[in-house]
Structure 1
């Protein structure tokens, strides 16, 4: 006779998350997130078997393969992919346990001692179907449900509605059917109360920071201590801010989706794509929305691009994707000189008539008559319209408040593709004009050719920079082309020299920027060397530039302003 396990822990996981697709396989300190969940369950004394419950479809094949590679029992459900209760019930019927622990696969800080504690309480009270924390107890625990077999059977019988099939335990919230035992916590896990599930990129960044800190001083065979996490969060409150803004989705609320359309190339640059990736994260975290980015350009893996993404070979394919769009809202971000404006006017008109809300970003504000909102994430626009929003407050950037203390260095930013070819001649000027006490760091964009350096050049070339804002914040001075990096530098309160910008920015916009006095401006190639000498040799000039940049950077609130605009449009959308 085969011995059936008394307690099974069923991990629910699918790679189809609307806000962070593939999240279960993203790395946490070198191992997939879901493997960190399994490691924690393996330390539980009262769990006899761990089973991964996913769905049988192509999208989740990588998760199934991972489970098999780890020799973890995997159940791939062939029924309705949204029927989570049906998926777990199939696992229960196959294993006939006495007790069931359901574990959300996106919670890599589940506490083993609490799991054992809750199971012991449930096993000691055979008349109870489930457990809950006693009234008044605050706890950091997330992603755990405990049931006796008879309690589970009551719950599955009561799960008739769509919501109760998609969310474990929801049926008991609709109508109480379970006898629930009130228990104390296994320890004091009350402070600080903070989300420890991974639903968005900000959640992942928070969890990565926690895991990296732990494993910098502990061995790989030690699971992250939840008590240590709470102590660390109290000692380093800035960690809390990484994902404190994330809105938790409510199970009884439908969330509309937003589609984002942009392009990139060596000629266009990366600014539109980087900005759209940032917007996707903003909407996922602040509003709980699912986002889908449609990109015209060569498919390349960028470290800052994640989530639901589709690639299109040319503008015609991008236009087709736009016309088949059924999302409640679409946002478009193009270099206007690089698209067929007349065709887009017609497409925007058709989709607006179909009830889709439309936002045009930046240069596309020229099409303000065809959209609901023209949002310009810049201090300047030469267009005036009732539905146009612009100003320093609109920048989609996060100010850096702490300037790290470092040896002096000059940071050079020529853009994602170095579209104006500064790499052909600027290195010689830098080697000549920048004082010897400065290190010179040249950030080579992913689409940019390597700068042409002399054999004895002092310039260090950096590729694949993942933390540009902190690199900017630590620089003694920043030499930048006109674009996103320039305004990241202004927001960070840097002392900046702007390189000649002919063909990138209008004369009126450049004059308006000069009037703000947030950077020195080299109008011509001949002026670069003179201005470099000024900014590197005059501490008073650098401090004056930083002071002015900080004044304008402190106004930045574009993330919240765009969030509010999208929320307002969706509230009045005929499709939501």
Structure 2
């Protein structure tokens, strides 16, 4: 499809050593899903570190640091690019104090606005709140919820169309882009001590995380992956996974990988995890200690692992980007 000169989509997000790469990964997936619409797309990335990863040629990228005013930068870009839509994926702690003023200014200029996930407190000023979750924000009123898009088909997953039939007897361990709770300090040693010796470990070290402490005198095959170019391929080869709650968890569900999942951030994700457990999509743990126990249970039961895999793939089958494309197309075509 040819580029549509009258419309440009500006995507804005946060990343960094204390934030990780989750917001960047998700908005990059959003751009990938929107590419078939044919609009010009520009990404404004605010981070405390230079992000050196390669970006696709359909996405023009500008990086700024947290000392720069992102609201002013967005307004300048909107004017320069003839932008008609801004999509935000901000970390809630890093959202600028001027964000409400920015949204009002964009509204005056007839620029549509979509926020992904967080920023629900700005719902009155946003055109749409797109929640890549199976449930709507419970703090919103019925009227406010009408401005929201959510559901099992609303997830923004970085998945491949191809899946591998051959699996190796292995465990994938995901602790996030920054491992903010320092799971790498001792957990790999614990997993090595308590899980079957012939189970290969794949520990993915996030770009802002330190390397995990490896067990001494182990006979186990352990791979530490850093700057992994294709996590999807690895997801398709493993038999089991243990992961923090986040977008990668849902990608694992999409592929039908039996998972143990937990959140190290208190009760922040409790409601979602309760539903995951209720629908038997994964085993939910309280922390890494409980996760180790749940892994022992999962690995020892073929029936349980098969049940989780089947349930997960059925539930996530519709998370293919169609909903986001439809939402954006409808907004930009509206008079």
TM-score if structure 2 supplies the norm length? 0.89
Displacement of 1:304:
5.1
Deviations 1:259-294 (A, max 9, x none): 01101112211110011112222222x111111100
Q: CA distance change for structure 1 residues 379 and 312 in 2, over 3 Å: closer, same or farther?
A: same
More helix per residue: 1 or 2?
1
Q: CA distance change for structure 1 residues 504 and 263 in 2, over 3 Å: closer, same or farther?
A: farther
2:38 alignment counterpart = 288
Aligned mate of 2:86, from 323, 326, 330: 330
1:497 alignment counterpart = 260
What secondary structure is seen at the aligned counterpart in 2 of 1:262?
A: strand
- Superposed CA RMSD in Å reads 2.0
Determine if the alignment matches structure 1 residue 572 to structure 2 residue 324: no
Q: CA distance change for structure 1 residues 299 and 416 in 2, over 3 Å: closer, same or farther?
A: same
Displacement of 1:570:
1.0
Q: Is the 8 A contact 2:167 2:236 kept in 1?
A: no
2:95 alignment counterpart = 339
Q: CA distance change for structure 1 residues 569 and 266 in 2, over 3 Å: closer, same or farther?
A: same
What secondary structure is seen at the aligned counterpart in 1 of 2:98?
A: helix
Aligned mate of 2:50, from 289, 299, 317: 299
Displacement of 1:548:
1.1
Displacement of 1:503:
4.1
C-alpha distance in 2 between matches for 1:333 and 1:311: 15
Aligned mate of 1:426, from 152, 175, 187: 187
2:292 alignment counterpart = 529
Q: State the structure with more CA Rg.
A: 1
Displacement of 1:541:
1.4
C-alpha distance in 1 between matches for 2:268 and 2:302: 29
Displacement of 1:504:
7.7
What secondary structure is seen at the aligned counterpart in 1 of 2:114?
A: strand
Determine if the alignment matches structure 1 residue 442 to structure 2 residue 195: no
2:63 alignment counterpart = 311
Structure 2: stretches of 5+ with no match in the other structure: none
Q: Is the 8 A contact 2:242 2:291 kept in 1?
A: no
- 1:368-447 matches, within 5 Å, as 368-383=123-138, 384=140, 385-397=145-157, 398=159, 402-447=163-208
What secondary structure is seen at the aligned counterpart in 2 of 1:549?
A: helix
Deviations 1:88-122 (A, max 9, x none): xxxxxxxxxxxxxxxxxxxxxxxxxxxxxxxxxxx
More strand per residue: 1 or 2?
2
C-alpha distance in 1 between matches for 2:212 and 2:189: 10
C-alpha distance in 1 between matches for 2:236 and 2:279: 20
Deviations 1:496-551 (A, max 9, x none): 01134324833222222222221111113431221121112211111111011111
2:234 alignment counterpart = 471
C-alpha distance in 1 between matches for 2:197 and 2:167: 16
Q: CA distance change for structure 1 residues 569 and 345 in 2, over 3 Å: closer, same or farther?
A: same
Where does structure 1 differ by over 4 angstroms across 4 or more consecutive aligned residues?
none
Displacement of 1:400:
5.0
TM-score if structure 1 supplies the norm length? 0.53
Displacement of 1:311:
0.8
Q: Is the 8 A contact 2:195 2:296 kept in 1?
A: yes
